Structure 1
Amino acid sequence: MSTYRNRMHEIVRIVARKAWEQPVLSSGLWFHGDIRDNFYYASYLFAASVDPAEDPTFDRQEGKKLAEQILFRVLRLQDTRIDSITYGHWPLSLETESAQPHVLPVELMGSLMVFFLQTYEQHMSKELAELFDGALENVYQGGFYKQPLRHYGHHEAKFTAAKLIFGQRFRDDELLAEGRSCLRQTLEHIRREGMAEYGSLPWFWHWIQAFTCAWTLLEEPAVKSELSEMLDHLWNVRALYYLKGAWIGAHSRGWSHDAPKDGNVLHDYVQFGDFGLPEDMPRIEYAGFLFYEAPKSARRLAMEHVHPAEISRAFMKEVDGVNRKLHSYVYVNNRFAAGGLWERVKEFDNEQLRWLFSLPVRLGGKGNQLYFFHPGEGYNATGSDPRHQSEWTAVLYRKNVIMALYPLPDDASDEVIGVLPEGEWTLSDHAIFGRVEETYFAVYLTSPYEIRQRSGYYLVECKGHRTGVVVEAIGSLDAKQRGMSTLEDFVHKMSACKSRFFVDDDHRMEYTSFLEKELLTLSVKKPGNPGEARANGDIIAFDHYVF
């Protein structure tokens, strides 16, 4: 296995080559959708061009020249009007020539610019170095980071890191002290109440990048030590929900490249390196430049799933102005993971995945997630973006089994959407059986369904206002020990395990699990009810677990 330095260099080489081959638009930039991508790609191209340890496939001088041209263009788009409310900011989208400064680009990019200048200033032309220096002076004076702690989310994490970084750079002792105070408060908060941004991608990586950037740049040992505490905590959180590049468990937010496959994997790849680097890199940011080694205990937890484990955690989240305690559950072994959030809560942009089965990251653009949901606000009816779930779901999590009921009100659309990762699948009337990599899946459905192939996954559409789904996953080793060496063997044995579905006063479903031989029951008395989950007659839900 290569070292993290080798993996970082690999990312630098690949992104630099992509940047070199990217056509320059009439604006003098590569990308108009997000100004930050221009800065990130130019950073990699510049780094590969000046690093003697690299062996680029392009001319070094020409590569450096192109990178500087892009960086000049980016820096000159900054709002330099001292009396402007967006002083020090950059536009985000450049689709129109009149693109206005936006609050987002500087949040992370501003701190990364400090790192880039301090690391590569000696290789820059004098004009570019001076332009960088002036841009950072504008960022400092603009004071985007002058925000109070309230939600303890990724925005405030970036503000806190910026206070430390710019406080040190401009010898602002008061700002540095404020950043240190915010750092302590934030760490205390997430230790006490958990991270409300559970499974939030790519925003978790903004925590990692912002604080790793600060840890790399800060000189005072005491502050650096406190930053190490924060980063140790963050990597311990990541280790809990890690399976060979996959982010297991519930996702509160994620972009389209996070479902139905884990696409934002570069920081995991550098840190752990136990999966292949996908060709597609939707969020390069600064994964090739910034690194903080996770604690050995976290690395061991993340990479050694020799024994199956159940992970139960509680955390506080403000919902509609009220703090609520939420409960997450994950079952993980060395083949797959299953779990999610017991409660359903409203999330920003409704980009959540309430529950899912996860496999290790797969190459070739193949999906590694299996889940079902009722479409809610923001859903794309073409099925090309299988996210955005409604509130009409009740769940039961029990090791390798997930049960879900969708008791839909009369005025709701009657489809339930499923995602199956690309693999070998066999279809029957009310069940779907398959093998994907080293895991078998039995999917039992109470409603008729249709299935369509998409890029890297299959889309399942069920119809009915009383739909139920049961999924049991079994690793290939467990299956073989029980006489199932092929998919045909699996189908034969699991066909006898169909769920039972009742439509009476309760919307109720029963299933006896194949591995554990437990009678699992999930019932919902009315739409919107969280549902009652039982195993062998005992109520389980989240109260069954220790948090």
Structure 2
Amino acid sequence: MNGQQQRQAEIVKAVALKAQNQPLLGSGLWFHNDIRDNYYYASYLFAAAVESPAILHDPADAKKKAESVLAKVLQLQQNDPDLPLYGHFPLNLNPSPEQARPHELPVELMGSLMAYFYNRYERELSPELREAFETALRHIYLGGFFRKPLQMFNHHEAKYTAAKIIFGQRYEDRELLEDGINSLQKTIVRVTTQGMPEYGALPWFWHWVQAFTCAWELTSDNSLKQHLAELLDYLWNERSLFYLKGAWVGAHSRVWPHDAPADRNVLHDYVQFGDFPLGEDMPRTEYAGFFCYPAPEAARQRALQRQEPSEVHKQIVKIDTGEEIPLHSYVYVTKDFASGGIWERVKEFDNEQIRWLVSFPVTADNSVNQLTFFHPGEGYRDGDPRHQSEYAQVLYVKNRILTVFPVPEDNPHQEIIGILPKGTWIMEEAGLFGQVQNCYVSILLKGRYSVEELDTYNQVRLHGEPAAIAVEVIGLEEAKLLGILNVSSLAEQFDPTSFTMELLGSQKGTITYRGISSQDILELTSGLYSANPK
């Protein structure tokens, strides 16, 4: 058993024990908020019962419990071909599973994973459950949720493509399989030449990985397996560029609450790389414990050997309502932190986006490991940093980030929100100085600010006309060479004139910044940026 397999076994054990110890609801399921969690928990419990029974209290009872939940999940499928969403499952089961209506999302990912589960455990299933799986998979095939053309090259279409290959092979449907192969080839060309339009989008990136890994596992045709491997190699190379010990660094076009301000969607990273501790919080169990496509060695080395800093520049062509929009991302990655984001700001679905981040490694307690400042936008509420407005002009240069926030006077949100990870922080008139893990952080502020200590992070509220910030991050080793031995000496290094603002009119200004790790003067004016060596 190699390291990846050992980490998968660790995940299977952890989820299976949670499932065994979790009491069932009156419906016979564990959860009513999302049908998929029932399916995933039952899959892990069943796998442990047949492959690692010693880890369970009562393996026979665990297997029986898992089969019962799996059967109840399958019973909720829409099995009448004359009704809408034939072959689909409900998503939210409240107030009761019997009243829940079919939803288009669960089968997208769960359907292919069901094919994998059945292929792997068919012989261990009871005759009744074996028949239920056969019937459910045929309903999925005949329902044909995947019979859609490529248009947006997003995570939905990635799952359609993988499902075409999986179900085309399973039911010897040559036309469907050829459609899947053609879609796969177009996807490879699209992402390798123009990038992934869902940049930094979690958990959707993992849906790409899971869907195509599932197809790779179930494919016996060597030529097709090679094409799937080509796409998976691309995906893991992409992941390694934006990887720092479990953190996904840089801009995010979409995120869930468990992706920000703490990276908790880490199971696939943990299996693949294993260079950070796995906490107890596992919000996306899915099938990380079942299969893993080994990343190319170059990607693994890039992710795991961060001794020298690197800069990642990416151009992404985003497709939005038929229009191709070029975007540019930048991130600076060291062994202790990473900083950067997206240069342009575009409208994203549900405005669940993060323009820029300073990221730190994931820790065992899954504490907040992201630092950012933003102006609240559509969908914002306290405690949710995923909803940011367009009122930010940015400059990213290695370990320094400048942002000015030209917020219109009539905007209902006039304050800028800052998210600070827990650490050692001191407040000065010029700004905030702190230590987070193995880094010193300075945040110079233009405007009036206050800091509130919350349970998992510190929140800054900044007011200015306009407000502006300069963030600089330095690893402890580099800081020592600069004579910085603690947070107090960090604060003493900064001259008040190192961060200046010249107002150009209402809500506009030019900011200049000279840090301590570089003598370059950075200047940001109304969205134009320059770095002028002095």
The alignment's TM-score, normalised by the length of structure 1, stands at 0.95
Tell me the distance in 2 between the aligned counterparts of 1:537 and 1:220. Answer: 57
* 1:320 CA displacement: 4.4
* Equivalence map 1:511-526=2 (5 Å): 511-524=513-526
**Corresponding residue for residue 383 of structure 2:** 384
Count, aligned residues: 529
- Rounded Cα–Cα distance in structure 1 between residues aligned with 2:37 and 2:356: 31
Give the whole-Å Cα distance in 2 for the aligned partners of 1:39 and 1:205: 18
Distance 2:435 2:497 in 1: 17
Name 1:402's counterpart in structure 2.
401
Deviation by residue 1:482-515 (Cα, 9 ceiling, x = unmatched): 1112222212213556411222345111111211
Report the Cα distance in structure 2 between the residues aligned to 1:252 and 1:405, rounded to whole angstroms. 20
Provide the C-alpha distance between the structure 1 equivalents of 2:253 and 2:158, rounded to a whole number of angstroms.
18
Is 1:533 aligned to residue 529 of structure 2?
yes
Q: Percent identity?
A: 50
Aligned-partner SS, 1:128: helix
**What's the counterpart of residue 15 of structure 1?**
15
Distance 2:92 2:335 in 1: 41
Per-residue deviation, 1:366: 1.2
1:151-166, aligned counterparts within 5 Å? 151-166=152-167
1:63-107 per-position Cα deviation (integer Å, ceiling 9, x unaligned): 111111111110000000111121100000011332210000000
> What does 1:116-127 correspond to in 2, within 5 Å?
116-127=117-128
Alignment of 1:467-486 (within 5 A): 467-486=467-486
- Aligned AA for 1:532? L
> Which residue of the partner structure matches residue 242 of structure 2?
241
Write out per-residue CA displacement over residues 92-133 of structure 1, whole angstroms, 9 at most, x where no aligned residue. 001133221000000010000001011111111100011011
Equivalent position of 1:451 in the other structure: 451
**Equivalent residue letter for 1:166:** F
The change in CA–CA distance for 1:497 and 1:204 in structure 2 (over 3 A counts) is: farther
Unaligned ranges ≥5, structure 2: none
Counterpart contact for 1:409–1:465, Cα < 8 Å: no
Counterpart for residue 367 of structure 1: 368
Matched, 1:433 2:405: no
Q: Please give the per-residue CA displacement for 1:203-241, whole angstroms capped at 9, x wherever unaligned.
A: 000000000000000111111111000100110110110
Matched-pair contact (CA < 8 Å) for 1:328–1:342: yes
What aligned pairs does 1:275-354 form with structure 2 within 5 A after superposition? 275-354=276-355
What does residue range 35-114 of structure 1 map to in structure 2 within 5 Å? 35-52=35-52, 55-97=54-96, 98-114=99-115
Q: Give the structure 2 partner of residue 527 of structure 1.
A: none
Which AA in structure 2 matches 1:318?
I
Q: Which runs of 5+ in 1 are unaligned?
A: 525-530, 539-547
Structure-1 residue corresponding to 2:461 = 461
> Is the contact made by 1:430 and 1:448 (CA closer than 8 Å) also made in structure 2?
no
CA contact (8 A) 2:49 2:56 kept: no
1: distance between equivalents of 2:439 and 2:424? 11
* 1:509 counterpart (508, 511, 514): 511
1:163/1:30 Cα in 2 relative to 1: closer, same or farther (>3 Å)? Answer: same
Q: Which moved more, 1:489-498 or 1:91-100?
A: 489-498
Instruction: Tell me what 2:488 maps to.
Output: 488
Distance 1:7 1:455 in 2: 30
Root-mean-square deviation (CA, aligned residues, Å) is 1.4
Deviation at 1:200, TM superposition (A): 0.3
User: Partners of 2:142 and 2:435 in 1: how far apart?
Assistant: 57
Q: Which one is further off, 22-31 or 126-135?
A: 22-31
Query: In the alignment, is the contact (CA less than 8 A) between 2:498 and 2:515 conserved in 1?
Result: no
- Contact conserved, 2:279 with 2:364, CA < 8 A, in 1? yes
Offset of residue 372 of structure 1: 0.3
Q: Would you say the 8 A contact 2:255–2:352 is kept in 1? A: yes
Say if 1:414 and 1:465, in contact at 8 Å, map to a contact too. no
Q: Distance in 2 between matches of 1:318 and 1:465?
A: 35
- 1:431-476 C-alpha deviation (Å, 9 max, x unpaired): 0000011011000111111212223211111123410011000000
Tell me how far apart the structure 1 counterparts of residues 257 and 458 of structure 2 sit (CA, whole Å). Answer: 15
Shift of 1:2: 7.0
| TM-score between the two structures when normalised by the length of structure 2 | 0.97
Which residue identity is paired with 1:391? E
**TM superposition shift of 1:56:** 1.6
**1:440 touches 1:475 (CA, 8 Å); kept in 2?**
yes
- Measure, in 1, the Cα distance between the counterparts of 2:478 and 2:496: 18
Q: Does the residue aligned with 1:134 lie in a helix, a strand or coil? A: helix
SS in 2 for 1:502: strand
* SS of alignment partner, residue 523 of structure 2: strand
CA distance in 1, matches of 2:162, 2:114: 13
